Amino acid sequence: MKRIKSALISVFHKDGLDDILKKLDHLKVEIISTGGTYDHIIKLGYKAKTVESITNYPSIFGGRVKTLHPDIFGGILHRRDNKNDISQLAEYKIPAIDLVIVDLYPFEETLTKTSDESQIIEKIDIGGISLIRAAAKNFKDVLIVPSKEQYADLYQILDQQEGQSSLEDRKKFAAQAFKVSSHYDTAIFNYFNQNNEIEVFKISQEKGETLRYGENPHQKGIFFGDMEKIFSQLHGKAISYNNLVDLDAAIKLIKEFTEPTFAILKHTNACGLASDNRLSIAWEKALAGDPISAFGGVLACNKEVDENTAKEINKLFFEIIIAPSFEKNALELLKSKKNRIILQAKSYDFPNQTFKSVLNGSLIQGSDHISETKNDIEVITKSSPSAKELDDLIFANIIVKHTKSNAIVLVKDKQLVGSGTGQTSRVDALKQAILKAQSFKLNLNGAVMASDAFFPFADSVEIANDAGVKAVIQPGGSVRDKDSIEYCNNNNMSMVFTGNRHFKH
C-alpha cells in the first residue's frame, strides 16, 4: 500500500472535483496545480501550489507549455525503489508526486461544435496526455486518474482506504489511463486522416453496453456506440443484439424513401414494403406482401404514426417499431404490449465506411451510398418502360440494394409483392420471389423485377415473363447480356441497366 502525500491536478472540466479536494485536504495531501484548475481550487478555499512555483518557469505560448518540465515529470517518473533515481531527485530538488488527476481538452466534443481548424487544433491536449502516460507508466509508485469518469473510484480510495492505494488499484487506474490516451489519439488521427490517405484502420469506441446475449444465447454480446444519437427508446424491453442488426438494416432502408412508406423486416431483409400517399394504406400493402413473415418483425416508417394506422399495426405481434414521431393516442395504443420496443428516430447520417471481422483481420469498404434515379439508368431494349413501370423499377432497385444476395425483388404499384433473398443462384431467388407472390395471391401481371447483379443467362427473364413481369432493372455487365436483351425484345419486355451492382453479404 502506498500513501498519497502529494497530488498534481490539471483538469479541463472542474465539475465533480469538489468532493475530491475535500478529501485530499482532510488527508493533508499537498496539491500542485495549473492555470484555471489552480484558480478553482483556491476559490473553493483549499491550499495549492502553482506549477510555476515548482518549475520556476512561467506558463508560455498562451498556455501551450505549462507542465512540460523535468521538475514535474521527474516527480512523477522517478522510481521509488531505484537508488540513482532517488539520489537525482534530491540533487535537483524535485518534489515527488504520488497522484496525478487529469481531464483532457475535449477534442471530440469540439469536432461536433465547429469546423474551424484553428479551434480544433487548440483542443489537442499535449501536457495532459503526457502526464497521463507518465503516471500510468510508473503505476508501481503513482496513481493516475485520467478523466472525471474515474473520480468515483478515486474517492473510494481516499475515503475507504484513507488515501492509500494498492498495486492492484494503481494498475487498474493505469489501464484506464491508456484506454483514455489511446482513444484520444485515435480520434485525433482519424481527424487528420479523414480522406483515408493513410491506409490504416483505427477505431475506438469507449461506450459499451452489455446485451442479454449475442446472436445466440450461448454467445456474449456487447454494443459499442451511442444508440441515443440514432433514436430514443419510448417503450419496451432492452434492445438485443439481433434487434440492433435488424434496426441497422431497417433505418438504412427506410431513409431511402420520401413518400409515406412502411417496411417490415425479418433477419435484415424486407418481407413487406410499400409506399402510398396515406401511411395507413402503405402499412396495409406492406403487410399484404408477406403477412406470415411479418409476425415478430421489425417495423420502420418515415412519417408520423397516426392513431388509425396504429390500430391496424397493433393487430400484429411485432418486436420493434421505429418512426420519426407518434401521435399521442397512437403511442399510448402501441404501448399496450409491455415488451414491445417503440423507438423515435432521429436525423442521422451513417459513416462512409463499413467494416467486418474476417479470418484474422478486418475488411473495410466504402458504404454503398449509390441509389440510382431515373437519370442514372440506360434503356437497352427496343421497348421502354412506361412512367408507372419506371417508378416501380426505381422503387424495386432500392429494395434489392438492401436485400441479401443473391436477391430478386418483384414490385407492383410501389408494393413489394415478392422477394428471393440469400439464394445460391439468381434463378432460385426469382423462383422464391414468384412463389411468395403466388402464395399470397398477389397478381404479378404488370409487375417489375429488380436484380442486385447481372443475369448470366436469359433464363431469369424467361421465367419472369412467364409469371407476368414486363419490365426489368439490373446492373448489366454479363458477357451474355445480349441473350437477355434479345429475349426481352422478342417478348415485348423492357429492360434498363444501372451500371452498378449491389451485392450484400
Active site residue 267: yes
CA–CA distance, 437 with 420 (Å, rounded to integer): 10
Q: Provide the 10 A C-beta neighbour count for residue 144.
A: 27
Among residues 5, 14, 49, 137, which one is catalytic? 137
Q: Are 242 and 263 in contact (CB under 8 A)?
A: no
196: Cβ–Cβ under 8 A, 6 or more apart, which residues?
353
The three state secondary structure string of 165-227 is ECHHHHHHHHHHHHHHHHHHHHHHHHHHCCCCCCCCCCCCCCCEEECCCCCCCCCCCEEECCH
Alpha-carbon distance values, 325 to 58, 175, 244, 272, 322 (Å) = 56, 42, 20, 21, 8
Amino acid letter for position 226: D
306: Cβ–Cβ under 8 A, 6 or more apart, which residues?
279, 280, 327, 330
Active site residue 43: no
| Nearest to 341, CA basis, from 323, 360, 363, 327 | 323
Grid cell digits, residue 22: 475535500
Q: Are 497 and 475 in contact (CB under 8 A)?
A: yes
Q: Are 451 and 420 in contact (CB under 8 A)?
A: no
Whether the bond into 406 is cis, omega within 30 of 0: yes
CA–CA distance, 58 with 68 (Å, rounded to integer): 11
Among residues 49, 267, 337, 388, which one is catalytic? 267
Burial environment of residue 492 by CB neighbours within 10 A (0 to 12, 13 to 18, 19 or more): exposed
Grid cell digits, residue 53: 512555483
Q: Are 48 and 38 in contact (CB under 8 A)?
A: yes
Strand order in the sheet with 448-451: 378-379, 494-497, 471-474, 448-451, 408-411, 416-420
Residues noted as catalytic: 137, 267
